[in-house]
């Protein structure tokens, strides 16, 4: 392999050398390599019993000045990355060679000469985010964290204007927001944000059943979810709603599916994104499971619940299973025309012999784990081998052993 030619930056242009990023983004924004720009820090609600992302973290808003300062850093990094590509003879193409050249050529920013390992890592993360974004076309931006619309509308408009000025090639800016926040915005505010360039909102609907919403302390009602979704759509925004199969547990499974379908039908979102419940240690929901107060669904029961949901959807939406929490990734299509094919996929899985369903569960969850973690710890590997052998032998205790292995594998998904 040829040695990487170092490229020296004009370091005075890039300020501190990094822009602030939060911990998560929607899966599709990751696939699109969107630029991540932090508008608010953490979650203003932070009470949902199933979520551990922001536990122990304090919510705060960032000022418009802070965010536009980050934009200046991103613009300078983008210019340096492009210049390095041309200097290396790559004609503007951005790949690992360009990133390596910048890291190797600026050790006071990215290496030991920085003197601060955490700062160097932040700079590398920013460099990689901007480089990947440019490599993908530099067309999409995601505003973080959990509820960017908590920021004052005038500040958001200023940030969006700065994005448009600095990067005229951007065609899609999206953000997470809580339904409660969207519902409180006036129609005029939402329209002004759409006109400024915010084209899509990702909203955690989770359930349309009020009893489930109250049980998991979502802090919103089904009618507020409908109000928020309709207001965003009327403002001209794309609406992407997240639904959490299994969130009602065994007791509320049917109501969860049927009432969620009712709310989705009332909104008619552009996207319905499935994200199956996985109770995590450190969350109140996990403690409820351990105490026997919440009975999770089995893999097969979750699939059946998704089938019930799809059967009762009557809206023109694109349904996607774009997260490794989900077992059947292929349950994806446009409603209503693809409904028969989606239900057929579900029926074919549920119609498999029991040990074949166990084999699918183990193979899919193992594949997802390896994609996230890269390798199996000894204890998890032993549980997987034992489960696989039991499935192969069609042993009576195979369901128990597979359940144990799946429990260990799923902990890497968060």
pLDDT tens-digit readout, 194-217? 999 999 999 999 999 999 999 999
Residues paired with residue 176 on neighbouring β-strands, in sequence order? 202
pLDDT under 70 in the chain at which residues? 1-4, 412-414
Q: What DSSP assignment string belongs to 108-177?
A: HHHSGGGS-HHHHHHHHHHHHHHHHHHHTTS-EEEEESS-GGGS-HHHHHHHHHHHHHH-TT--EEEEE-
Pairwise CA distance, residues 248 & 263, whole Å: 15
| Three-state SS at 319 | strand
Question: What does the pLDDT read at residue 8?
Answer: 93
Residue 2's pLDDT is what?
Answer: 53
Residue 369: the pLDDT is 87
Residue 11 is predicted with a pLDDT of 84
Q: What is the pLDDT of residue 350?
A: 98
CA 1, chain centre distance (Å): 36
pLDDT of residue 1: 41
Task: Give the pLDDT of residue 81.
Answer: 97
- Could you tell me how far CA 168 lies from the centroid of its own chain? 26
Distance separating alpha carbons of residues 182 and 227, to the nearest angstrom: 9
What is d(CA 373, CA 226) in angstroms, rounded to the nearest whole number?
38
Whether the Cβ atoms of residue 5 and residue 101 lie closer than 8 Å to each other: yes
Per-residue pLDDT tens digits for 85-130: 999 999 999 999 999 999 999 999 999 889 899 999 999 999 999 9
Ramachandran quadrant class, 48 (left: phi over 0; alpha: psi -120 to 50; beta: rest): beta
State the pLDDT at residue 336.
Answer: 97
Contact call for residues 296 and 286 (beta carbons, < 8 A): no
């Amino acid at each position: 392999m040829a040695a990487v030619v170092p490229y020296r930056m004009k370091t005075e242009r890039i300020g501190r050398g990094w822009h602030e990023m939060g911990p998560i983004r929607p899966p599709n924004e990751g696939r699109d390599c969107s630029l991540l720009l932090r508008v608010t820090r953490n979650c203003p609600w932070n009470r949902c019993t199933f979520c551990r992302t922001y536990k122990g973290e304090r919510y705060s808003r960032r000022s418009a000045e802070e965010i536009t300062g980050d934009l200046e850093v991103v613009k300078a990094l983008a210019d340096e990355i492009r210049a390095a590509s041309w200097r290396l003879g790559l004609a503007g193409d951005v790949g690992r060679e360009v990133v390596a050249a910048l890291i190797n050529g600026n050790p006071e920013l990215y290496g030991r000469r920085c003197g601060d390992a955490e700062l160097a890592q932040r700079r590398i993360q920013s460099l990689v985010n901007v480089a990947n974004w440019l490599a993908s076309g530099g067309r999409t931006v995601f505003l973080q964290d959990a509820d960017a619309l908590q920021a004052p509308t005038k500040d958001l408009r200023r940030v969006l204007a700065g994005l448009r000025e600095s990067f005229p090639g951007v065609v899609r800016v999206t953000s997470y927001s809580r339904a409660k926040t969207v519902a409180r915005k006036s129609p005029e505010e939402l329209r002004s944000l759409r006109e400024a360039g915010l084209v899509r909102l990702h909203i955690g609907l989770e359930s349309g059943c009020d009893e489930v919403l109250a049980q998991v302390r979502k802090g919103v009602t089904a009618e507020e979810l409908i109000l928020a979704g309709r207001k965003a759509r009327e403002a001209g925004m794309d609406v992407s709603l997240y639904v959490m199969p299994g969130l009602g547990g065994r007791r509320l499974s049917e109501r969860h599916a049927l009432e969620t379908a009712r709310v989705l039908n009332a909104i008619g979102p552009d996207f319905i994104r499935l994200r199956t419940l996985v109770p995590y240690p450190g969350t109140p929901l996990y403690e409820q499971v351990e105490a026997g107060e919440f009975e999770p669904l089995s893999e097969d029961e979750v699939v059946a619940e998704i089938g019930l949901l799809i059967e009762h959807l009557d809206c023109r939406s694109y349904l996607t299973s774009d997260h490794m929490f989900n077992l059947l990734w292929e349950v994806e299509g446009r409603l209503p025309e693809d409904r028969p094919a989606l239900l057929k996929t579900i029926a074919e899985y549920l119609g498999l012999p029991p040990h074949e369903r166990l084999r699918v569960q183990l193979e899919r969850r193992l594949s997802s784990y390896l994609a996230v973690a890269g390798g199996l710890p000894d204890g998890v590997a032993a549980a997987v081998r034992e489960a696989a052998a039991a499935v192969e032998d069609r042993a009576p205790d195979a369901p128990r052993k597979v359940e144990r292995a799946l429990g260990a594998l799923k902990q890497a998904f968060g």
